[in-house]
Amino acid sequence: MKRNIIKISSLVKFLMLNFCLVKACLAINSDTQRVIAIGPSVNSIIKAIGAESSIVGVDTQSTDIYSKKIADVGYMRSVSLEGLLSLKPNICIATSDVAPRSAITALNKYKVKTVVINKVENPNSIYNNIILVGDALGYKDKALELREKVIQQVNNALSSIPNGKKSNALFLLQLSSNSVFILGNGTHGDWWMKLIKLNNISDISGMKPLSREGFISSKPDLIIIAKANDKLQFPYQADLNKYSKNRNIKVVNVPSNILEGFGAKFGENTKYLVDRVYYD
């Protein structure tokens, strides 16, 4: 009898110890973490794996990703060390596009763990970034699930692209009623075109303002316009109407935030573009 009581007592202690360890692990995953996340891709991954409770600051472009109000640390290409430190973070996860990079590396001096995700070279870069973010926050299992989901979505979308000659495409970014840019080689627009099997007819590197003359002289089969606001009127609309009718040019309007869509919604964004380009 006494021996049984001792065994029960030991079991209770063992269970209580394990309960405390589990509770401590949960605390590490949420309460003790103060995370600054910079970049829409980073924040979309954090939300998708359920780690948003630890977020204390995000970049301006990511403020609408979360339902709760979170401190804005500024545009991801102009963050300040002082602004970051004011939120007392212990972890900072940032996109490879963050600038100045010195503000991020300087956080290490203040015992803030910093993680900069990989530059997006190909889909594998995105899949690896999902794991990188999950690992940093202690959500690796959730990140693995998300990665497999995204891989499947991308594979399904790309396999649905019809075989045949690639269309010659022009990818434009419209920020305002009179501000339109051509997305040339090395831009996110160029990256998306290659992914969904389009030829970028622009011979420039980077972004360049679009002129009326340049627009009229270009000869694409397809024009994709990424708009900051879907109500924006294209500055050369009359030319566009004539152009698309006389030359049988397809025009596709998409939201501009798709250009940064290399996070949790990469699979959805791939399907969206494939559907708009090939099936609408």
pLDDT in tens, 120-143: 999 999 999 999 999 999 999 999
pLDDT in tens, 235-253: 999 988 887 888 889 999 9
Residue 22: pLDDT band by 50, 70, 90 thresholds? Answer: very low
Residue 8: pLDDT band by 50, 70, 90 thresholds? Answer: low
Angle at 12 between CA 10 and CA 15, to 5 degrees: 110
pLDDT in tens, 141-161: 999 999 999 999 999 999 999
In the prediction, which pLDDT does 2 show? 47
Q: Does position 267 have pLDDT exceeding 90, yes or no?
A: yes
